[in-house]
């Protein structure tokens, strides 16, 4: 299903300053969580806490700055606390201690009414198993957020139709969710979230339940939409390929703690520990590492005539282009063909085969 | 060793005194407030009489058509409509039309009341866990108490007739609708509830837009059970002067009229089938879109 590039009835955010600042966030699940925060702060591990006090450490000292208008991926395996973390941003889960600042307001200080207003107007969420209302048609699911907010029916219908069209579901408006495939159901979930016109989009393993091919389609659609919408997206996944493909920034969680933060190049080229290295090993590096990350800077102005590779190119493409030319190195060029650095086939091969890059 | 074979019961004099005190209090209550209690229930009596006379005095073809139309809209299947019409005609041919109408009218009104009281109670039970715990116990008692026992206090307070019969029926039939409303709300998918929260639903929005609609198939199962129990109790309530098919059964027992008993019994079964098929078919139709996703 293609993505129609019409935007009838769809309003866009003109500016998005909804950065998310998470500071010193702790979450302990148990009967008396507050009593144990200090113990955890001073170094008690998840295992110790569970053994000695029978409490589960959900999140341990989380600090993340999620930039506005970017995709922040939170990656981890099950039990790493990633779903717990995303539920703190709209406070579906109450923290044990810490702060989450969004647009100058601490989400954790909001009253029930403020929180409701915040959820209605500033965040929208997409769920792993879609979270659609089975008794409502596609269009009535998509208008749900607007209806809750009290937008008049005709207007929310227009908005919803626009987004249904954008996610490629035109003609399915009057179907029920159980008449649709998983991929189509998640498009409904996405259209519902986008209809809300919120600056923050929370996606909790949104694509994990989908088939690999459908998943790639949905990723492409999200990236295309994002170039235009520039929302602050928090994307949860257990799939490193997905994380690398989507994430402007990536955080990797394990046992409730952050073990690495950075962009895809940092994760691939400088994995923080063995655990991440094991993940990274199985990734197709050529598809994700960019020439910029491994090029040598130019010491003096080079006069050699070499082929030019555009900045931002993946190693896979770079290697192909370089092999097709008769040279074994090339300039990496930025805007207007200005050379930024030098890259050789040998460097590319080295980077593809291991993480060892000087 | 005598004490081993005789249970050490409370002093018989004392027990007698207790029974006397309670019954006396109830009698005093009836004597003192009997009139005001009756006045209080007078509007209810009007409603019951109104329904009963409407359905009994209506031309029989109109009643048949009305029930057939209801059956069609609830089930959207001709088989159900045919079953309803056939059963009604059979009842009429056996000469039980008037009695059957009285029974249907009482079952109908008491079910409506049971639903109107039961669903809100079920919602309360679900929302406030402590209320829920107490209510669970009360419902257990209500469902195991022999139905005849309900008749005693209502007769003492209100005498015999429609209103006490109606009250006994509602009390007897209400537990399933309360329980299944609570259960239905509890069974709503957690992720859908989370979605409702994430989109900023208030409590009442969540209840009316998500929980109740999704609990509806279970609630319908409760309504179905409530109807069946009401129908059962209507027969027993004939002992306190409720007219209709039940009274004929009671006479048949007293006089050993086997055939009268069987005919009336079958008429009751027929009415049960009508109510059951209509409410079940409606419940099924509600579930049409609830199936799991096929992907």
Quick: pLDDT tens for A225-273: 999 999 999 999 999 999 999 999 999 999 899 999 998 888 888 888 8
DSSP B68-102: HHHHHHHH--HHHHHHHHHHHHHHHHTT-HHHHHH
Q: Say if residues A93 and A23 touch (Cβ distance below 8 Å).
A: no
- Using CA of residue B288, residue B289, residue B290, residue B294, what is the dihedral sign? positive
- Using CA of residue A301, residue A302, residue A305, residue A311, what is the dihedral sign? negative
CATH label, A285-353, candidates 3.10.580.10, 3.10.150.10, 3.20.20.20, 3.30.70.20: 3.10.580.10
* CATH fold for domain B34-287: MetI-like fold (1.10.3720)
Q: What is the pLDDT of residues A162-207, one digit of tens each?
A: 999 999 999 999 999 999 999 999 999 999 999 988 999 999 999 9
Mean pLDDT of chain A, nearest integer:
86
CA atoms within 13 A of residue B91's CA, in its CB half-sphere:
31
Q: What is the pLDDT of residues B168-194, one digit of tens each?
A: 999 999 999 999 999 999 999 999 999
Residue A52 has pLDDT above 70, yes or no: yes
The number of beta carbons lying within 10 Å of the beta carbon of residue A288 is: 22
Inter-chain contact A119–B194, Cβ cutoff 8 Å? no
Q: What is the pLDDT of residues A250-263, one digit of tens each?
A: 999 998 999 999 98
Residues of B in contact with A148 (CB under 8 A): 196, 199-201, 205, 209
Q: What is the pLDDT of residues B111-126, one digit of tens each?
A: 999 999 999 999 999 9
B216 contact A CB<8A? yes
B287 contact A CB<8A? no
DSSP B151-202: HHHHHHHH-SSHHHHHHHHHHHHHHHHHHHHHHHHHTS-HHHHHHHHHTT--
B293 contact A CB<8A? yes
Identify the pLDDT of residue A14: 42
Give the ipTM: 0.82
B202 contact A CB<8A? yes
Taking residues A47-67, what's their average pLDDT? 88
The SS3 call for residue A262 is strand
- Across the A:B interface, residue pairs with CB atoms under 8 Å apart total 86
Residue B292 has pLDDT above 60, yes or no: no
Inter-chain contact B200–A116, Cβ cutoff 8 Å? yes
Taking residues B27-31, what's their average pLDDT? 84
Residues of A in contact with B205 (CB under 8 A): 148
CATH label, A64-281, candidates 3.90.230.10, 3.40.1710.10, 3.40.50.2300, 3.40.50.300: 3.40.50.300
Q: How close A148 gets to chain B, by Cα (Å)?
A: 6
Inter-chain contact B289–A135, Cβ cutoff 8 Å? yes
Identify the pLDDT of residue A357: 45
Identify the pLDDT of residue A358: 38
Taking residues A75-101, what's their average pLDDT? 92
For A116, the closest chain B residue by CA position comes to B200
Residues of B in contact with A182 (CB under 8 A): 293, 295
Taking residues A67-79, what's their average pLDDT? 91
H or E stretch covering B19: helix B12-57
Domain residue ranges in chain B: 34-287
From residue B143, how far is each of A3, A135, B138, B151, B174 by CA, in Å?
A: 58, 33, 9, 14, 9
Q: What is the dihedral of CA B108, B111, B113, B118, to 10 degrees?
A: -170
Domain residue ranges in chain A: 64-281, 285-353
Inter-chain contact B198–A181, Cβ cutoff 8 Å? no
Phi, psi angles (nearest 5°) of residue A292? -60, -35
């Amino acid at each position: 299903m293609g993505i129609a590039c019409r935007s009838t009835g769809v309003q866009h955010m003109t500016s998005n300053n909804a950065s998310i600042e998470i500071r010193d966030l702790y979450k302990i699940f148990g009967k008396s969580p507050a009593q144990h925060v200090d113990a955890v702060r001073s170094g008690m591990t998840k295992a110790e806490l569970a053994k000695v006090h029978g409490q589960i450490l959900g999140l341990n000292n989380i600090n993340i700055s999620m930039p506005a208008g970017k995709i922040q991926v939170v990656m981890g395996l099950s039990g790493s606390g990633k779903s717990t973390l995303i539920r703190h941003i709209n406070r579906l889960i109450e923290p044990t201690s810490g702060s989450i600042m969004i647009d100058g307001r601490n989400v954790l200080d909001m009253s029930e009414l403020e929180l409701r207003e915040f959820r209605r107007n500033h965040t929208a969420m997409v769920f792993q198993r879609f979270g659609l209302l089975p008794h409502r048609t596609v269009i009535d699911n998509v208008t749900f957020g607007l209806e809750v907010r009290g937008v008049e029916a005709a207007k929310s219908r227009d908005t919803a139709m626009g987004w249904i069209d954008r996610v490629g579901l035109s003609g399915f408006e009057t179907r029920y969710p159980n008449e649709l495939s998983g991929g189509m159901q998640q498009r409904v979930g996405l259209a519902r979230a986008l209809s809300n016109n919120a600056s923050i989009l929370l996606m909790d393993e949104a694509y994990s339940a989908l088939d690999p091919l459908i998943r790639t389609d949905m990723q492409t659609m999200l990236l295309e939409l994002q170039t235009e919408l520039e929302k602050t997206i928090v994307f949860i996944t257990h799939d490193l390929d997905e994380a690398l493909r989507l994430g402007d920034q990536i955080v990797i969680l394990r046992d409730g703690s952050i073990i690495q933060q950075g962009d895809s190049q940092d994760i691939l080229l400088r994995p923080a520990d063995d655990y991440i290295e094991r993940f990274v090993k199985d990734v197709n590096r050529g598809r994700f590492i960019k020439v910029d990350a491994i090029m040598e800077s130019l010491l003096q102005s080079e006069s050699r005539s070499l082929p030019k590779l555009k900045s931002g190119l993946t190693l896979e493409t770079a290697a192909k282009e370089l092999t097709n030319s008769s040279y074994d190195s090339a300039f990496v060029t930025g805007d207007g063909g200005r050379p930024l650095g030098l890259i050789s086939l040998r460097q590319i091969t080295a980077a593809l085969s291991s993480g060892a890059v000087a | 060793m005598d004490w081993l074979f005789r249970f050490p019961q409370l002093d018989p004099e004392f027990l007698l005194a207790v029974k006397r005190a309670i019954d006396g209090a109830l009698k005093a209550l009836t004597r003192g407030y009997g009139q005001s209690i009756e006045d209080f229930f007078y509007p209810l009596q009007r409603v019951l009489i109104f329904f009963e006379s409407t359905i009994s005095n209506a031309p029989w073809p109109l009643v048949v058509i009305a029930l057939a139309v209801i059956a069609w809209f609830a089930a959207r299947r001709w088989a159900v409509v045919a079953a309803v019409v056939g059963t009604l005609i059979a009842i009429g041919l056996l000469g039980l039309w008037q009695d059957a109408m009285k029974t249907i009218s009482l079952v109908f009104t008491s079910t409506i009341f049971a639903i109107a009281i039961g669903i809100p109670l079920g919602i309360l039970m679900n929302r406030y866990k402590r209320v829920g715990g107490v209510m669970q116990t009360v419902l257990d008692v209500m469902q195991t108490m022999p139905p005849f026992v309900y008749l005693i206090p209502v007769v003492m307070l209100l005498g015999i007739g429609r209103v006490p019969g109606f009250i006994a029926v509602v009390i007897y039939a209400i537990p399933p609708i309360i329980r299944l409303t609570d259960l239905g709300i509890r069974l709503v998918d957690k992720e859908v509830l989370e979605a409702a929260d994430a989109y900023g639903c208030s409590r009442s929005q969540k209840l009316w837009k998500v929980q109740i609609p999704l609990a509806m198939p279970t609630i319908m199962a409760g309504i179905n059970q409530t109807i069946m129990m009401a129908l059962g109790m209507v027969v027993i309530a004939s002992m306190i002067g409720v007219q209709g098919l039940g009274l004929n059964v009671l006479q048949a027992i007293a006089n050993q009229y086997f055939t009268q008993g069987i005919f009336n019994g079958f008429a009751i079964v027929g009415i049960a089938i009508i109510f059951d098929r209509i409410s079940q078919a409606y419940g099924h139709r509600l579930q049409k879109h609830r199936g799991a996703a096929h992907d």
